[in-house]
Amino acid sequence: MALILTFLGQGSSEPAQVAIAAGQKLAGQGTRVLLAVQESGPTLNLLLGTVVTTSPTEITPNLKAVKLSSTFLLEQGWEQVKELEAKYLRSPTLKNVYGQELGILPGMDQALALNALREYDQSGQYDVIIYHGDSSWSTVRMLGIPEILSWYLRRFGQILQESDIGKALSPFIQPITSAILNVSWSADDLTQEPTNRANDILDQGKTALANPKRVTAYLLTSSDELAIAQSQYLWGCAQQVGLTVKGVLVHDREVTNTLTEKFDPLTVTAIPTGTGQDLTALKEALPDFLADSQPPQPITIDVAAKEVRVFLPGFEKKQVKLTQYGPEITIEAGDQRRNIDLPTPLRGQPVKGAKFQNHYLIISF
């Protein structure tokens, strides 16, 4: 199992340079690295001096690069969908639609990339996968898929099953979703503890995301006030999807002290601004991405104390909203909603109080 590493920051060429330098540094230390590039446009090709293709190709010893092209991945995925349909439905109808025709709608990029990362991770061929996406916000939305999609499945699974539509669809949905997601739609499974559904592909994603040794992000900023404010906000957004941020990289040594305060308890590392293709100085300045560290966990649940602590840095109190409309508690911040599936003793209990203190939302039952 690999560590998936990503850099959240503005601009195009700077995060790309940091991603490449990080890959070269780790590969030089004997780590098997895959640089997975989703960014549209020629930036990374120009920086690497080679065209990154849809198959992993060696750049330097131990460092491979691959282009996560949505048209290519959708074409591949479509073949699998057709096979599944032919296997499970008596009269398959998709055989006359070709993967080569399919256009890309918003959201497909992230779903396809996440699935590709999962497959590269499972291949066992890489120790570190560096993901370089189109934008930080798109990366955050992508890493939110397992958490949010599994909420939609648990919330709508039961409702759909009981509905007329669900009854009409069940002969089709059940075999296909169980084949794709390893999710069963029977009522029994839906009420079981999440730990019993370890096969669930989405739960595997959530588990990986919750472990900073499996998925981790670094913020990339400059001395510009706007860039710093944006990075603080991104820090909060990352925490909202359960993505652990391990440190801050800044292009200006002068501001490291200010940033250490603003991003406490993260480590702040000064890095030189890249100068074209020569990344030597940048490589040297980068921190040890594999070092053990204890960044704050996005969420901790203390059943005995009936307390849930959610780490939400980068937001002010008024930007965080706690509601309890449905069966779970919902935290709204940074144009995201996070529904927290509580363990049995707290599940369905009304919230008694909530306070926002030192970047933590503390909810008591």
Scanning residues 167 to 196, which ones bind a copy of itself (CB under 8 A)? 168-169, 171-172
Residue corresponding to tokens 């460092």: 63
Q: How far is the CB of 61 from a copy of itself (least distance, A)?
A: 26
User: Does 49 help bind a copy of itself (rule: CB under 8 A)?
Assistant: no
Q: Please, which of residues 109-168 interact with a copy of itself by CB under 8 A?
A: 109-111, 134-135, 137-138, 141-142, 144-145, 147-149, 151-152, 155-156, 159-160, 162-166, 168
Tokens of 277: 């293709």
User: Does 55 help bind a copy of itself (rule: CB under 8 A)?
Assistant: no
d(CA 351, CA 365): 5
d(CA 332, CA 309): 15
Spell out the residues 6+ positions from residue 250 whose beta carbon is closer than 8 angstroms to its own: 220, 221, 222, 223, 256, 259, 268, 269, 270, 271
When the beta carbons of 155 and 306 are compared against a copy of itself, the nearer one is 155
Q: Please, which of residues 258-287 interact with a copy of itself by CB under 8 A?
A: none
Q: How far is the CB of 124 from a copy of itself (least distance, A)?
A: 27
| Interface pick for a copy of itself out of 49, 105, 254, 304 (rule CB under 8 A) | 105
User: Does 6 help bind a copy of itself (rule: CB under 8 A)?
Assistant: no
Q: How far is the CB of 266 from a copy of itself (least distance, A)?
A: 18
Q: How many residues bind a copy of itself (CB under 8 A)?
A: 81
Q: How far is the CB of 337 from a copy of itself (least distance, A)?
A: 5
Beta pairing class for 336-340 and 329-333: antiparallel
d(CA 182, CA 186): 12
Asked whether the beta carbons of 315 and 232 are under 8 A apart, the reply is: no
When the beta carbons of 267 and 330 are compared against a copy of itself, the nearer one is 330
When the beta carbons of 34 and 238 are compared against a copy of itself, the nearer one is 238
H or E, element range at 357: strand 353-357
When the beta carbons of 216 and 231 are compared against a copy of itself, the nearer one is 231
Q: Enter the DSSP assignment of 98.
A: -
H or E, element range at 354: strand 353-357
